[in-house]
Amino acid sequence: MEQFKMPYFYNYPPYFTLQPVKDTREKQIQLWKELILKYCKQYKVFVINLDEEFPLFGNSAIERKLSHEARELFLGALVAEGKAEWLDKAHHKCLILWRSITDWANLILEFVKENGLEDGVMTLEEIRTGDETHGTDIAGIDRTVLVRALKVLEQKGKAAMFKGTATDDEGVKFSA
């Protein structure tokens, strides 16, 4: 995996303090939003938990880290754009959609067609960690995101999910 290059502002201390002037703060939020999406995409991060340390939100080289308020504000701005979703009412966990659910659904459909699985059956675990998806963008997809994407395909009549006896038996039948 190529080295992720942090943008200039990540090394500039004031970007770790919420700016009181409106225009400056908007610029600051914009920069952080872009960085969060880019970072999560690079490292395939799907959920950010505000109660845990997240490496992006602190820079030990300049001894600065974002306050809880700032983190919640930046993630909230992504939520407002539809690029993230709070997973709980108290805003502790945030699902980062660096690719939209619809795009995920299309990606899965493409994969299904390319691999001749039009009438095939796969378990959710196979899709996430199996040999077929290994090396594709789908590998390692978050379970919540996967289920949501498959539901989109279900609505289009291109897939049908079914439950097994255990969670890792949950599967999907494609009918693309």
Partner 1 sequence: MRRRPGLAGLQAAATNRDQFRSLGEDVAKARTDLMKEQLSVFRTQLEEFARKHKNDIRKNPAFRAQFHAMCQKIGVDPLASNKGFWAELLGIGDFYYELGVQIVDICLATRAHNGGLMDLEELRGHLMKRRRVSRDSTITEDDCIRAISKLKALGSGFEVFTVGKRRLVRSVPTELNKVHNQIIEAAQSQGYVTAEDIVNKFSWRTGSVVDALETLMKEGLVMVDDGHPDGKRRYWFPCVSAMDVDSDESDANAT
List interacting residues with partner 1 (CB under 8 A): 5, 7-9, 12-17, 19-21, 23-24, 27, 63-65
Q: How far is the CB of 175 from partner 1 (least distance, A)?
A: 35
Nearer to partner 1, 20 or 157 (CB): 20
Q: Is the dihedral of CA 74, 76, 78, 80 positive or negative?
A: negative
Nearer to partner 1, 7 or 140 (CB): 7
Q: How far is the CB of 20 from partner 1 (least distance, A)?
A: 7
Pick the closest to residue 76 from 25, 15, 33, 16 (CA basis).
33
Pick the closest to residue 96 from 53, 133, 41 (CA basis).
41
Alpha carbon separation from 110 to 39, 116, 168 (Å, rounded):
25, 10, 24
Contacts of 11 (CB under 8 A, 6+ apart): 59, 61, 62
Q: How far is the CB of 29 from partner 1 (least distance, A)?
A: 12
Q: How far is the CB of 37 from partner 1 (least distance, A)?
A: 12
Nearer to partner 1, 14 or 55 (CB): 14
Nearer to partner 1, 41 or 143 (CB): 41
The two tokens of residue 146 are 């996967």
